[in-house]
Chain A
Amino acid sequence: MNPRAPVRTALKLLAMTAAMFGFGYALVPLYDVICDITGLNGKTGRIEQAAAEAQGPDTSRSVTVRFVTSVNAGGAWRFEPAVPSMTVHPGGVYQAVFVAENTRPRAVVGQAVPSVVPREGSLYFKKTECFCFTRQPFAAGERRELPVRFVVDRRLPEHIDTLVLSYTFFDVTPDEGSS
């Protein structure tokens, strides 16, 4: 046996170890891709205003969109939809309004994270504008309306007649740290 052979084997195995460490990190974007393809986690898509309006509403169909809100542990908002649900036509651009009130006596920053069920339907729920696209600063005690403009894609499968859009507000105030 060549006395260097074990060292060569060890170096190859070390390279494998490094590659697998990298693979662990590669699972992060891979997971996002899989979620995008399958609609897993109800992640919603984004669409340009022009592209959304180009679809035109399909008035022969109606879909109910229900709104659900929650505040993550550590946050202190009163956070509600202005209306509990809307009936929309696929392909039409609609605006929904949520109302958030900071109940803390100091300024906070919030980040809303959306999710849509059923999973299959989330692929067809697209937003042109959303308060969830950016962080939302609130002054102490501030109450504000938060709009979201969305379109339900005309290709939404026939058997889906209801979508639930949920927002969770997270406290991301700097130095406070999020939950």
Chain B
Amino acid sequence: MSSTTADLLHDDHHDKPRGLKRWLFTTNHKDIGTLYLWFSLVMFFIGGTMALIIRTELFQPGLQLVDPQFFNSMTTMHALIMIFGAVMPAFVGLANWMIPMMIGAPDMALPRLNNWSFWILPFAFALLLSTLFMPGGAPAAGWTMYAPLVLQTGDAFPFLIFSIHLMGVSSVMGAINVIATILNMRAPGMTLMRMPLFVWTWLITAFLLIAVIPVLAGAVTMLLTDKYAGTAFFNPAGGGDPVLYQHIFWFFGHPEVYILILPAFGVMSQIIPTFARKPLFGYASMVYASCAIAFLSFIVWAHHMFTVGMPLSGELFFMLATMMIAVPTGVKVFNWVATMWRGSMTFETPMLFAVAFVILFTIGGFSGLMLAITPADFQYHDTYFVVAHFHYVLVPGAIFGIIAGVYYWLPKWTGRRYSEFWGKVHFWLSFVFLNVTFFPMHFVGLAGMPRRIPDYALQFAEFNMVSSIGAFGFGLAQLVFLGVVVHAVWFSKEKADAKVWEGAHGLEWTVPSPAPYHTFSTPPDPRLMTTEAHS
């Protein structure tokens, strides 16, 4: 890109507005990334508070704190907020901040769309959270919104549907922007196979988003018309079928779980080479493995619904296809371990989170393989074993990926170093309490404790008490994280240099810290691409 085009897209000389207007009208990828990340952090604490209400109720058997309807609202809202409000926006925030700097672009390709896709989110979640105060209560049919149960939702129902629509519009616009940026805005010399893996995994994630978010939008629209417009997509009395909803939902839902994890894979592939001081092992195989995972994610959806009654051939197909995902995922785990092998490893906070990610995500992957075995799944289905499984892939997977990325790039964003001591405190508290919370759930699940029920049989009491204690510990540990971030953004005195980490490679480390408001207004020297590629 010539510098004149850059000027055309971005006038460096104007004064940026101050105060609220700066954030409302900003088209700067760094500002928007920051907005996304703060928004995500707020949602993380709201969703976390809901999780703690759940764990408080489950601290002891019996019904003591909340009524069952509200308990189910909490499980539903916790999931919706964590998935759509915390994890997805955090990854879009990281993408906004880092993708242009990693590929040597001056900004995202469609800056105004970028502004819009962020500012839809506060409205979407205001709609969703407002349902807590509505007659009939907040949605309580589970985040999967299965018909016909979800149709019994009270006044909250249309608000639930429209908030899902808005979140979907925001994600799709974000995805379009990411793809348009990566395909069009790479600096000369930044070929596809030189792109950092975070950029690669986000490119794949963005295509997944475009493929499946509209399907979710269709599914919830069908729910809406079933309830209000007399259609009968999921109503057998009118010729429909509730099982059809599950098929459509999981056609979205399974790729969605890779949307939640692929960008974390990307972050890991940036961090591990930096602190192992070795280039990433098997770069090309990482790219192909990510593509394979994305492809397979489209043909495994029915493993979420083995118990609905499916022909044996269908069960076998979905079981085997699901197990096949372990192959490319195994390639990735192997590559991360091989990158660390005989590296000069140091364990700064991002690396601690990255190593924990590799270990704990793999545990979650293994329990996923157990769930993939159809005959065994009939016992595990809808038990706490499933809860343990997806929390092991989402908390030390997606959430640790985000947190590791934040620690890794925070000095680049703020120009100040965070407190390494408190970062490590945050890590160890999170690591210990995460396992205290979720590991016992495997046992109670295998013993038959069902999900989404506010009471349980007495034999599950001890493990549930342990889980609840762990949950509060994990929650408190995140306040340490908040403290570290606030300190690093506003109070830290320790300046960070451009490179920040001794072993870091990549274009983002060639710009000063904090990264100036506009970076790469003129493209970087193409020679950098070869020396800095494949960090």
Contact = CB atoms under 8 A, between A and B. Distances in A.
Interface of A: 1, 3, 5-7, 9-10, 13-14, 16-18, 20-25, 27-28, 31, 35, 38, 40-41, 72, 111, 113, 119, 168, 170-172, 178-179
Interface string B209-242: 0111111111100100000000001011110010
Given A20-B214, A24-B217, A178-B235, A6 B110 contact: yes
A7 B244 CA distance: 36
B276 interface: no
B325 interface: no
B130 interface: no
Contacts of B241: 31, 35, 41
B218 A21 contact: yes
Contacts of A119: 311
A170 B214 contact: no
Given A1-B185, A13-B175, 10 more contacts: A3-B9, A9-B176, A17-B176, A20-B212, A24-B218, A25-B222, A27-B244, A28-B233, A178-B235, A179-B237
Given A13-B179, A27-B248, A172 B184 contact: no
5 contacts: A9-B180, A21-B217, A21-B218, A111-B238, A179-B237
B244 A31 contact: yes
A10 B218 contact: no
Given A28-B233, A31-B241, A41-B243, A10 B110 contact: yes
B79 interface: no
Given A21-B214, A27-B251, A168 B176 contact: no
Contacts of B183: 9
Interface string B366-398: 000000000000000000000000000000000
A146 B215 CA distance: 41
Nearest to A117: B309
Contacts, number: 103
A9 B109 contact: yes
Nearest to A112: B237
Q: Max chain A CB contacts within 10 Å: which of B8, B215, B243?
A: B215
A173 to B, nearest CB: 11
Contacts of B243: 41
Contacts of B217: 21, 24
Contact of A10 (B9, B176, B212): B176
A95 B349 CA distance: 76
A113 B236 contact: yes
Given A1-B5, A17-B210, A178 B185 contact: no
Contacts of A27: 215, 244, 247-248, 251
B5 A3 contact: yes
A28 to B, nearest CB: 6
B148 interface: yes
The 10 closest A-B pairs by CB, nearest first: A24-B218, A170-B237, A6-B109, A21-B214, A24-B215, A20-B214, A6-B180, A9-B180, A13-B176, A6-B184
Contact of B215 (A14, A16, A23): A23
Given A9-B184, A17-B172, A119-B311, A3 B214 contact: no
Interface of B: 1, 5, 8-9, 109-110, 113, 148, 172, 175-177, 179-181, 183-185, 210-219, 222, 233, 235-238, 241, 243-244, 247-248, 251, 310-311
B248 A24 contact: yes
B82 to A, nearest CB: 24
A1 B500 CA distance: 32
Contacts of A179: 148, 237
Nearest to B240: A28
Contacts of A38: 311
B468 to A, nearest CB: 34
Contacts of A168: 236
Contacts of A171: 237
Given A27-B248, A27-B251, A111-B237, A13 B210 contact: yes
Given A27-B251, A119-B311, A6 B181 contact: yes
Contact of B184 (A1, A25, A170): A1
B214 A24 contact: yes
A20 B179 contact: no
B363 to A, nearest CB: 33
A6 B179 CA distance: 9
Nearest to A178: B237
A122 B427 CA distance: 58
A24 B296 CA distance: 19
A6 B172 contact: no
A23 B216 CA distance: 11
Contacts of A17: 172, 176, 210, 213-214
A40 B244 CA distance: 11
Contacts of A113: 236-237
A7 B110 CA distance: 8
Contacts of B148: 179
Nearest to B218: A24
Contacts of B1: 1
Contacts of A7: 110, 180
A119 B243 CA distance: 15
A21 B311 contact: no
B218 A25 contact: yes
Nearest to B244: A31
Nearest to A172: B237
Nearest to B219: A24
B244 A16 contact: no
Nearest to B1: A1
B240 to A, nearest CB: 8
B1 to A, nearest CB: 5
Contacts of A3: 5, 8-9
Nearest to A20: B214
A20 B215 contact: yes
A114 to B, nearest CB: 10
